[in-house]
Amino acid sequence: MESRPLDRIRIKDLLVRCIIGVRDWERLERQDVHVDVTLHADLSRAGVSDSIDDTVDYVGIKKRIVTMAEASSFFLIETLAERIAQECLQDPRVRQADVVVEKPGALRFARTVAVEITRHQPSDA
């Protein structure tokens, strides 16, 4: 049986403020971090039913991301990206999560540095 490609929900340029970095001064105050998330799921049922019960609760996912990130104090944006992906995959309808975490001003002479990861539901392994 041939499966159809998954649909996507995108959360773009979500601003979170968190403690992030390895330098002493980065551990003192929250910094702005920008997050992009792409949630891969089958949205066909929601497209037909027009029912919120048939789609991914992206408002809830956004709230979980913000709550987790703002309470965190990771050294690496890689770790923050991993934890964001885990929050996204808590919804079993999300089969794959693509996460980009940008830390503006992290590199001199560069606007931003970013880490991009893709994670799947464990059953997709």
The 10s digit of each residue's pLDDT in 49-58 is 999 999 999 9
| Residues 82-104: b if buried by 16+ CB within 10 A, e if exposed | bbbbebbbebebbbbbbbbbbbe
pTM of the full predicted structure? 0.92
Domains of the chain: 7-124 (3.30.1130.10)
Residue 12 known to be catalytic: no
Q: Counting Cβ atoms within 10 Å, is residue 9 exposed (0-12), middle (13-18) or buried (19+)? A: middle
Q: Looking at residues 10-14, what average pLDDT do you find?
A: 98
The 10s digit of each residue's pLDDT in 16-58 is 999 999 999 999 999 999 999 999 999 999 999 999 999 999 9
pLDDT confidence bin for 4, thresholds 50/70/90: confident
